[in-house]
Amino acid sequence: MAYGFDTLQIHAGARPDPATGARQTPIYQTTAYVFRDAEHAAALFNLQEVGYIYSRLTNPTVAALQERVATLEGGAGAVCCSSGHAAQIMALFPLMGPGRNVVVSTRLYGGSVTQFSQTIKRFGWSARFVDFDDLDAIEAAVDGDTRAIFCESIANPGGYITDLDAVAKIADKVGLPLIVDNTSATPYLCRPIEHGATLVVHSMTKFLTGNGTVTGGAVVDSGTFDWSASGKFPSLSEPEPAYHGLKFHETFGPLAFTFHGIAVGLRDLGMTLNPQAAHYTLMGIETLSLRMQRHVENAEKVAGWLENHPAVDHVTYAGLKSSPYHDRVARICPKGAGGLFTVALKGGYDACVKLVDSLELFSHVANLGDTRSLIIHSASTTHRQLTPEQQEAAGAAPNVVRISIGIEDADDIIADLDQALAKAGG
């Protein structure tokens, strides 16, 4: 039977505990698992049998979360890990190698810009930043060493919506996997695989968990990419020495990337998600659709109010008819443009700082996707390490604040902004 999203967000991956009948997925707080016998242990280590060995690799609580996220995204499988940044490295790890590059959007979270422009150089990888509204530039940036194309569905911080259909056509044309960070949208608002994405990554820390308690990341594989077609992805298509010459794509088919992520990625990189964090995220996902509906409803109301405020220069929310990306909402995010956007103040940098310091209901934190309304001045915090040009390209100019609209009463959110804007000189 094909269940709806609201049913799957509660039931996917979750079954009564066979030992106790517990209805909620238990926290399996254990490091290791007892093997039935020596033959069973050998089969597990040879990837001839699926099971639990050691919690750096697999854990029943984490496994339930992996199944739920993969199901909601419409993927073949998923690997959960310790953070969204870990998920991005996990996604690239089987694809890249020294001298290889990835083509990425200029509209990314500031930490991702730093990860791609600086940190991955230590692996011998590089990134080519392109405005993803310029489709010709995306294709022109691809060369013989490119191994992936990367973007965000709803970009942090500005709420820009990527034309995933158009980008996926380019990825398909050049024979490369498209990786989409779906953190800001969640699978409730956008399912990138349905628009041609190969892999979907999440910072589960944000909307999926939704309560600001734990960090976590996920990589979801569509199971549709032919890793053996071009010879560009030997980690997946060629014999793996550590497993006696096993070929992941040949052996596991649509689950090749997922098995590699666990058997090699988690084994060697160790970016493990702990079971308690997985438990919190499972509970959070149970109310995902309800929360996202309210995030969107509130964001539309608050953004519309802000757009007409005399102290505001402009609002970037794609749900506004004035947005140049408004026409993409119905096609890419049919249930709404999310709860994240930026506000540019006429008073510039100083007004932004005063606004942040004057708010009472809002929390001034380096996070988004919480039930609470959150605000941050990106240029002086999350995007501080970027050049002024990179800040502008990412939508985090000095006169801009990022707002993550929560699920409180919308009138209370507006009242708080109103009094703070007055103090900020508006």
CATH number at residue 372: 3.90.1150.10
Summarised one tens digit per residue, pLDDT across range 313-358 is 999 999 999 999 999 999 999 999 999 999 999 999 999 999 999 9
At residue 173, the pLDDT reads 98
CATH number of the domain that residue 67 is part of: 3.40.640.10
Question: Looking at residue 397, what is its pLDDT?
Answer: 87
Among 284, 301, 322, give the residue marking a domain's end: 284
DSSP 195: G
Domain count, the chain: 2
One domain, residues 177 and 31:
yes
DSSP 215-249: --EEEEE-S---TTSSS--HHHHS-BGGGTTB-HH
Cβ neighbours, 10 Å, residue 7: 11
Please choose, from the candidates 308, 275, 364, the residue with its C-alpha nearest in 3D space to the C-alpha of residue 64.
275
Please say whether the beta carbons of 375 and 362 come within 8 A: yes
Last residue in a domain, options 284, 301, 321: 284
How high is the pLDDT of residue 19? 85
Which of these three, 242, 259, 284, is where a domain ends?
284
- Do both 153 and 27 map to the same domain? yes
Look at residue 326 and tell me if it is in a domain: yes
Flag residues of the chain having pLDDT under 50: none
- My answer on whether 188 and 128 are in the same domain is yes
Q: Is residue 1 a part of any domain in this protein?
A: no
Domain check: are 274 and 318 in the same one?
no
| 263 and 303 housed in the same domain | no
Residues 184 and 296 in one domain: no
Query: Residues 205, 298: one domain?
Result: no
The rounded percent of the chain whose pLDDT value lies above 70 is 100
The residue type at 339: G
Q: How far apart are CA 68 and CA 3, in angstroms?
A: 13
- Kindly report each contact of residues 163-167 with a partner whose C-beta sits within 8 Å and lies 24 or more positions away, as own/partner: 163/132, 163/133, 163/328, 163/332, 164/190, 164/192, 164/195, 164/196, 164/197, 164/332, 165/195, 165/196, 165/331, 165/332, 166/135, 167/132, 167/135, 167/138, 167/196
pLDDT 10s digits, 6-32: 999 999 999 898 889 999 999 999 999
Residues 110 and 175 in one domain: yes
CA distance 383 to 376: 10
pLDDT of 181-209, one tens digit each? 999 999 999 999 999 999 999 999 999 99
Residues in the chain: 426
Residue 20: domain span: 7-284
Q: Which structure tokens are listed for 22?
A: 């517990």
Asked if residue 377 lies in contact with residue 401, where contact means CB atoms within 8 angstroms, the answer is yes
User: Could you give the strand order of the β-sheet that contains 146-152, starting from the edge strand earlier in sequence?
Assistant: 77-81, 217-221, 199-203, 178-181, 146-152, 101-105, 126-130
